[in-house]
Amino acid sequence: MPSLMFYQKPAGLDKNKHAKLKYKSGQDYGFARNTNSIPLGGMEFFQACRDFPILFIKNQDNKFIPMAILSLHTGGHDIDDKWTGTYIPAFIRRYPFALTEDGIVIFDEEAPHLTLDEGEGELLFNDKQEATTTLNNVVNFLRAADQSFRKTEEFCTAVAEKDLFQPFNANVKYDGMNVSLSELYCIDEKKWHEALSAEEVNDWFRRGWIAWVHAHLHSFGSISELVKRKRNKPAEAATGAETPAK
């Protein structure tokens, strides 16, 4: 999975260097306003599919990654900074923190969520330089999110090995506009029904993958939600273009 999409100045969290650092939690996701697609874990598919089409891209390693498509234009999305009324992917909720592959907590030094001010935020370390409840909660969430992403990578590998991905190309027409969705992939539903043996069906069901496929296919209907949000966006909002960013 892409890991540091929004991080301007990532640094490792150190109990000595950052003993006085405070975290100001709050539901402001303005840092994500210029993106139109977000990596998604399979465990999030059912919640996300009501609000966003879930499609796949290929990364630089030629691996498939599921993405929540947030808008029909490249300049950002049409959701307010609090993401009112829409599902908020874990990839966004984890910011300004993340975990490295070897489990080290990193954070964005430029994030407004972190401060050294006396009166604001909650300390990440106590006077004994031990993790506070606040930091422990952050780490637990990061670990759960990373575990979800790893399981999703296993799912995508299995789908690719069965050769079930196919290009997704669609033209969305609304309000005199014709927006093309391309360079995206979806699961071939007909081929999927025929590709798995009874044993594989049981294995995919046990792993939750059958449900993930259904949620992915169901999400295509959420393209209409992108149109609704675009229409409800104030007139000064950015307009334009076509393919969701990779």
So where are the chain's domains?
10-232
Q: How far apart are CA 183 and CA 218, in angstroms?
A: 20
Q: Which residues pair with 173 in a beta bridge?
A: 178
* pLDDT level of residue 27 (50, 70, 90 thresholds): confident
What confidence score (pLDDT) does residue 238 get? Answer: 42
Residue 99 has pLDDT above 60, yes or no: yes
Please state which of the ranges 1-10, 131-140, 159-168, 174-183 shows the lowest mean pLDDT. 1-10
Residue 235 pLDDT: 53
Query: Is the pLDDT at 233 greater than 90, yes or no?
Result: no
pLDDT averaged over the chain?
Answer: 90
Determine if residue 163 is left, alpha or beta; phi over 0 gives left, psi from -120 to 50 gives alpha, anything else beta.
Answer: left
Residue 242: pLDDT band with limits 50, 70, 90: very low
Output the pTM of the full model.
0.88
Least confident of 58-67, 80-89, 175-184: 175-184
Distances (CA, A) of 110 to 4, 7, 91, 123: 13, 8, 18, 17
> Which strands make up the sheet holding 105-108, listed edge to edge?
10-12, 105-108, 97-99
Give pLDDT tens digits for 123-152. Answer: 999 999 999 999 999 999 999 999 999 999
For residues 2 and 39, the answer to whether their CB atoms sit within 8 Å is yes
Q: What percent of the chain has pLDDT over 90?
A: 76
Cα dihedral across residues 56, 64, 91, 6: positive or negative: negative
Confidence of residue 234 (pLDDT cuts 50, 70, 90): low
| pLDDT tens figures, 36-52 | 999 999 999 999 999 99
Whether 159 has a pLDDT exceeding 60, the answer reads yes
| Lowest-confidence pick of 4-13, 111-120, 158-167, 177-186 | 111-120
The DSSP string of 162-229 is: TT-EEEEEEEEEETTEEEEEEEEEEE-HHHHHHH--HHHHHHHHHHTHHHHHHHHHHGGGGHHHHHHH
Average the pLDDT over 148-161 and give the result.
Answer: 97
